[in-house]
């Protein structure tokens, strides 16, 4: 079951009795959250502000310290996240951008990470992996309905319409050549 995140209170609603203790707890929580999985700065900020025993100033100070130590870097996080997603499953640019945006990254950071990821592995190579896997699992599309399902599958994976159309034509031609 999914945990519902706490509503983040305004700083005026927070009472901090011991500032040093709050700094230490906030820093420890930040490091703990980062050991479970890498996070964007905005993501970490939201998770830290869930707790009533800290405030915006302490969280900002903690984040700046973590950035200085090299534990937080949105550009590097986005690049690593994009590369990881492409290794896990063949997806297109559109879906990759959506996944990065869900991680609360800025638009420019997302664009740069996606461009870098697809420089290393071109989208044409990635769609080939998706097609090969789909053909292994479902076989070649026999009917018009099968072809449409294949087409729709590739579009849902985030590949561009033009690239999908081009590859589907190649598959159709390949079948005709073998049949003839």
pLDDT one-digit tens code per residue, 64-84: 999 999 999 999 999 999 999
DSSP helix/strand/coil, 25: helix
Q: What is the mean pLDDT of residues 117-135?
A: 91
The CA distance from 90 to 78, in Å, is: 17
Averaged pLDDT score across all residues of the chain: 87
CA angle in degrees (0–180, nearest 5) for 115-117-121: 115
Strands (E), 51-176: none
The CA distance from 59 to 35, in Å, is: 17
5 — pLDDT class (breaks 50, 70, 90): low
175 — pLDDT class (breaks 50, 70, 90): low
The CA distance from 30 to 179, in Å, is: 61
Query: Does 176 have pLDDT greater than 60?
Result: no
Question: Is pLDDT larger for residue 90 or for residue 171?
Answer: 90
- What pLDDT does 77 receive? 95
Identify which of 5-14, 83-92, 138-147 has the greatest average pLDDT. Answer: 83-92
Work out the burial of residue 44: count CB atoms within 10 Å of its CB; fewer than 13 is exposed, 13-18 middle, 19 or more buried: buried
Does domain 14-69 fall under CATH 1.10.150? My reply is: no
Query: Does 179 have pLDDT greater than 60?
Result: no
pTM score = 0.80
10 — pLDDT class (breaks 50, 70, 90): low
Domain ranges of the chain: 14-69, 74-120, 123-179
Q: How far is CA 107 from CA 74, 97, 110, 150, 176, in A?
A: 11, 9, 5, 31, 44
Instruction: Tokens 């997302």: give the residue.
Output: 110
Query: Does 180 have pLDDT greater than 60?
Result: no
- What pLDDT does 177 receive? 44
């Amino acid at each position: 079951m999914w945990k519902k995140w706490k509503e983040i209170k305004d700083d005026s609603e927070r009472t901090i009795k011991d500032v040093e203790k709050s700094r230490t707890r906030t820093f420890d929580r930040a490091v703990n959250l980062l050991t479970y999985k890498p996070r964007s700065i905005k993501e970490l900020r939201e998770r830290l502000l869930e707790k009533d025993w800290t405030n915006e100033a302490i969280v900002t100070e903690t984040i700046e310290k973590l950035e200085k130590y090299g534990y937080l870097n949105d550009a590097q996080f986005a690049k690593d996240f994009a590369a990881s997603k492409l290794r896990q499953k063949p997806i297109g640019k559109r879906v990759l951008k959506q996944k990065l945006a869900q991680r609360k990254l800025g638009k420019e950071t997302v664009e740069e990470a996606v461009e870098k990821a697809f420089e290393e592995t071109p989208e044409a190579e990635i769609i080939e992996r998706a097609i090969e896997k789909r053909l292994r699992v479902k076989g070649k599309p026999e009917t018009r309905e099968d072809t449409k399902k294949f087409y729709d599958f590739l579009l849902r994976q985030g590949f561009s319409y033009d690239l999908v159309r081009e590859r589907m034509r190649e598959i159709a031609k390949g079948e005709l050549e073998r049949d003839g």
